[in-house]
Amino acid sequence: MTRFSALSLFTKALGGHKGWEQQWPDAQPKPSYDAIIVGGGGHGLGAAYYLARKYGITRVAVIEKGWIGGGNTGRNTTIIRSNYLYDESAHLYDHAVKLWDGLSQELNYNTMYSKRGVMMLAHNVHDVQSFKRHIHANRLNGVDNEWLTPDEAKEYCPPLSIDPNARYPVLGAALQRRGGTARHDTVAWGYARAAAALGVDIIQNCAVTDIRRGPDGAVEGVETTRGFIGAKKIGVSAAGNTSVIMKMAGLDFPLESYPLQALVSEPIKPVFPCVVMSNTVHAYMSQSDKGELVIGAGTDQYVSYSQRGALHIIEHTLASICEIFPIFRRMRMLRSWGGVVDVTPDRSPILGKTPVRGLYVNCGWGTGGFKATPGAADLLAYTIARDEPHRINAPFNLDRFRNGRLIDEAAAAAVAH
Amino acid sequence: MFLIDCPYCEERRPENEFAYAGEAHIARPLDPSALSDAEWETYLFIRANPRGRHNERWRHIHGCGRFFNAVRDTVTDKFECTYKAGEARR
Ligand SMILES: [Zn+2]
């Protein structure tokens, strides 16, 4: 596989961009592997890459029921930040943000990670108190986060309305300057290409239908729509479908799957310099490099696997956007879509071992999994390779729902995040 | 947006009159102090979350205000039926 470089781009451009080789082969399943990752999103592909790159397990297959990056990796609003309240969360998300730095170089694939800053708006006294508490907690954990007055917020993001008579007045904002966005597709493709180069098989259009377990209870492999594939270690990174996969191994999980919608506007000239989140009114916005405003909504209220949500959710979000950014009132929306997010009771992920020997899980990222992609992938790979969790993901075990050691970011944020 | 049949009002109304209230038929423990940690975990946190037929609670919050149960397919989002609270699982 040839490496991408300025020279290779330039010479291929001279040839009309013809002659680019296939970036990774469309692998066919082999009878067995040392490890199988179920789910070909960024998290799963990344886990396969780190297994091969860092932890020396190269006989790995990624099994995806659809096409890679076609699930939540391709359906999110690409926000990256790590300003979470609790120590465990701050360490987990900051591990990911540190890996985002340098990921393009490591993968030789431009993930377009842009540290344009994530600004979270405070609209009421509760927001102000909660965000300031987050800022203090973050700084104690070495995570950058700072308080902005309304005028400073306006200076950082000029389209913002700070009119004190607005429907959602801006009383201030928390800004994480290291936060930002990345290009979602390139994350999946970059990991896939780099993993395949290390010998990982990436198998698409192959749905797992059962998990086979031996007489001792340990996993022996997976039944799929393309036959049985053996492996002593299986990592499940299946987002909204995790409950379904886990039931195949006889496990009931503390997860519920909800539709989460996003939409983009028609493309316009660069006007929006950062990411703005308003948790209180469920509106999240940035501008893509193509010029579209990328807007995220809240989840629908009911459990669903339909990958679509109701229009009134989007209307609610757009009404808020129009109040906060009156400049966009006459923008037209181009496309909307939904993903299925797996939500835990404490809104923190589950990342570690399961009661079934040889079965590992990375799930429960809810509405905020994209930002964690490199970190979750690395920690899942570590846990699979060592058969024990890394100290960063150890607190995010399944046992916490039994022993009560919850990491309650839901209560900390009081909203989806 | 869903159109939901309230079994009390006997009317089909839009979803924004209703509040979803989670999986149905999860009975509150009769003797809480006798529960083990594992039983508490199951009661509080473990959910069926099926891909398909789902028994769930809704509340007609901007109507009669009453809780009722429904069966809905979580892949097609189609309601199979709604029925009054206290009636047997369908
Ligand atoms: Zn009613």
Q: What is the distance between the alpha carbons of residues B61 and A180, in angstroms, rounded to a whole number?
A: 39
Please answer whether residues B4 and A302 qualify as being in contact, where contact means their C-beta atoms are separated by less than 8 angstroms: no
Q: Read off the pTM.
A: 0.96
- How do strand A275-278 and strand A118-122 relate by DSSP bridges? parallel
| 3-state DSSP of A383-403 | HHHHCCCCCCCHHHCCCHHHH
Identity of residue A19: G
Q: What is the distance between the alpha carbons of residues A232 and A393, in angstroms, rounded to a whole number?
A: 22
Q: What is the distance between the alpha carbons of residues A22 and A70, in angstroms, rounded to a whole number?
A: 19
The yes-or-no verdict on residue A413 having pLDDT over 90 is no
- How do strand A35-38 and strand A60-63 relate by DSSP bridges? parallel
Identity of residue B71: V
In 3-state terms chain B splits into helix, strand, coil percentages (rounded to 5) of 15, 35, 50
The fraction of chain A above a pLDDT of 70, given in percent, is: 98
Q: What is the distance between the alpha carbons of residues A47 and A361, in angstroms, rounded to a whole number?
A: 11
Query: What is the Cβ-side half-sphere exposure of residue A248, based on CA atoms within 13 angstroms?
Result: 22
CA distance A248 to chain B (A): 12
Stretch A349-368: mean pLDDT: 97
**B43: helix, strand or coil:** helix
CA of B3 to the centre of ligand 1 (A): 13
Model pLDDT for residues A249-269, shown as the tens digit of each residue = 999 999 999 999 999 999 999
Stretch B4-22: mean pLDDT: 97
Stretch A229-245: mean pLDDT: 98
Model pLDDT for residues A21-59, shown as the tens digit of each residue = 899 999 999 999 999 999 999 999 999 999 999 999 999
Enter the ipTM. Answer: 0.96
Q: What is the distance between the alpha carbons of residues A338 and A259, in angstroms, rounded to a whole number?
A: 6
Asked whether the beta carbons of residue A306 and residue B47 sit closer than 8 angstroms, the reply is no
pLDDT of residue A322: 95
CB-closest option in B38, B45, B56 to A302: B56
pLDDT of residue A411: 67
**A9: helix, strand or coil:** helix
Q: Which two tokens stand for residue A390?
A: 């890394």
CB-closest option in B38, B42, B76 to A306: B76
Residue A337 β-bridge partners? A262
Residue A247's contacts (CB-CB under 8 Å, 6 or more residues apart) are none
CA distance A199 to chain B (A): 34
CA of A44 to the centre of ligand 1 (A): 45
Stretch A95-121: mean pLDDT: 96
* Residue position matching structure tokens 């913002």: A160
CB-CB neighbors (< 8 A) of B74 in chain A: 257, 303-306
The yes-or-no verdict on residue B18 having pLDDT over 60 is yes
Stretch B29-33: mean pLDDT: 95
Centroid of chain to Cα A2: 29
